[in-house]
A and B are shown apart, each in its own frame.
Chain A
Amino acid sequence: MTTVLEVTDIRKSFGGITAVDGVSFDVREGEILGLIGPNGCGKSTLFNCILGQLTPSGGEVKVDGKVVTGLRPSELNRLGVSRTFQLLQVFPKLSVRENLILAGQEHRGSMMSRLFGPSDAGLTEAADQMIGFFKLDHLAGLAAGGLSYGQQKLLDAAMAFMGGPRLVLLDEPAGGVNLTMLADLKERLAAINREKRATFVVIEHNMEFVMSLCSRVMVMVEGKVLAMGKPEEVRDNPAVIDAYLGH
Chain B
Amino acid sequence: MSNLLDLLVAGLATGAIYAIVAVGFTLLWQTSQTINFAQGEFVMLPAFLMLAAMHAGAPFWLAIPIGILLSLLLLGLGFKMLLVDPVLRHGVLPLAIATMALAIGIKEAVKQFFSAEASPFPSVVPAGEIAIFGRMVSLQSIGVLALAILAVVGLTAFLNRTSIGHQMQAAAQNPTVARIIGVPVERMILLTFLINAFLVALASLLITPIYLAKFSSGEVLGQAAFIAAIVGGFNQVRGAIAGGLLIGVVDNLSAAYVSTQYRAAVPLILLIVIILFRPQGILGRAEERTV
Whether the complex brings A and B within 8 Å at their CB atoms is answered: yes
How many A-B contacts at CB < 8 Å in the complex? 8
* Closest beta carbon of chain A to B237's beta carbon, Å: 18
Chain B at the A interface: SS class: loop
Provide a sorted-by-A list of 8 A–B residue pairs whose CB atoms are within 8 angstroms: A52-B291, A53-B291, A54-B288, A54-B289, A55-B288, A55-B289, A72-B291, A73-B291
Closest 5 CB pairs of A and B: A55-B289, A53-B291, A72-B291, A73-B291, A54-B288
| Per-residue interface assignment for chain A, residues 54 to 68, with 1 indicating a CB less than 8 Å from any chain B CB and 0 otherwise | 110000000000000
Chain B residues within 8 Å of A, Cβ to Cβ? 288-289, 291
Give the distance in Å from the alpha carbon of A55 to the alpha carbon of B289 in the complex.
8
A73 to chain B, nearest CB (A): 7
A53 to B291 alpha-carbon distance, docked (Å): 7
Residues of A within 8 A of B289 (CB): 54-55
Question: For the complex, what is the distance from the CA of A99 to the CA of B291, rounded to whole Å?
Answer: 21
A16 to chain B, nearest CB (A): 12
Contacts of B291 in A (CB 8 A): 52-53, 72-73
How distant is the Cα of A139 from the Cα of B71 in the complex, in angstroms?
55
Q: Which residues of A contact B288 (CB under 8 A)?
A: 54-55
A53: chain B residues at CB < 8 Å are 291
- Supply 6 further A-B pairs (C-beta < 8 A) apart from A55-B288, A72-B291: A52-B291, A53-B291, A54-B288, A54-B289, A55-B289, A73-B291
Give the complex CA separation of A72 and B288 in angstroms.
13
Q: Which residues of B contact A55 (CB under 8 A)?
A: 288-289
B246 to chain A, nearest CB (A): 28
Q: Which residues of B contact A54 (CB under 8 A)?
A: 288-289
CB distance from A38 to the nearest CB of B (A): 18
Interface residues as binary, A22-57 with B (CB distance below 8 Å gives 1, 0 otherwise) = 000000000000000000000000000000111100
Chain B residue nearest to A54 (CB atoms) is B288
Which residues on B sit within 8 Å (CB–CB) of A72?
A: 291
A193 CA to B48 CA, complexed, in Å: 71
Would you give the shortest CB distance from B285 to chain A, in whole angstroms? 11
A71 to chain B, nearest CB (A): 11
| Bound-complex Cα distance A73 to B288 (A) | 15
Contact indicator per residue, chain A 93-137, by CB within 8 Å of chain B (1) or not (0) = 000000000000000000000000000000000000000000000
